[in-house]
Amino acid sequence: MDKEKELPKRKDIRLKNFDYSSPGAYFITICTENRKNYFWSDTLNLQTFEWHSVGANCVRPQNLPLSDIGNVVMAELEKWHKTYGGVALCSYVIMPNHLHIMVFISADKYGRPQVAPTVDRMVKQFKGAVTKKIGRPIWQKSFVEHVIRNKQDFETRSKYIYENPVRWYYDELYAEE
């Protein structure tokens, strides 16, 4: 292959020797291919947008202007806790061209990891389910995850999710159609 035509090598962003099915909290970002805005049908109405608490550390956005595809994404996200034993969806936000997810993988009462898939497997199955339901692929090839290391890290990521919709026009992933 010609040197000029070689594709760039992707940098491995995963932690070496880390078990991504181990108990803990994870922050995940999944983007659409070419940052295409698939998930919102309109601009965000700040008068009606709000967050709904569904547990001690769980919040869900309310009144996002979700498109049909955005509603499919939300429905698939809401299945995570039913699909994967020991996995709890803490919070998420669906933005026009990406989503952020905070997920907990828990241990049993003896501190042993419950049988849980890896973060990679959960994301791949999620992307596949959405693709199948809408009838076409829309996803960027990979995703970004961050292992949450402590309470401050958790609070920082939670705040980011919480503020992301109202900061959309200043977001690094912002893209106009």
Give the homologous superfamily in CATH for domain 20-148: Transposase IS200-like (3.30.70.1290)
Residues 6 or more apart from 21 whose CB is under 8 A from it?
Answer: 105, 113, 116, 117, 118, 119
Note whether 70 and 40 are within 8 A (CB).
yes
Residues 6 or more apart from 122 whose CB is under 8 A from it?
Answer: 80, 84, 87, 103
pLDDT tens-digit profile, the chain (177 residues): 455 555 455 555 555 666 666 788 999 999 999 999 999 998 887 778 777 776 655 666 777 889 999 999 999 998 887 887 788 888 899 999 999 999 988 876 666 656 667 888 899 999 999 999 999 999 999 899 999 999 999 999 988 888 888 887 777 777 776
Note whether 138 and 69 are within 8 A (CB).
yes
Residues 6 or more apart from 12 whose CB is under 8 A from it?
Answer: none
Strand segments (E) across 57-136:
59-62, 87-94, 98-105
pLDDT given at position 1 = 46
Domain boundary assignment for the chain: 20-148
pLDDT given at position 29 = 95
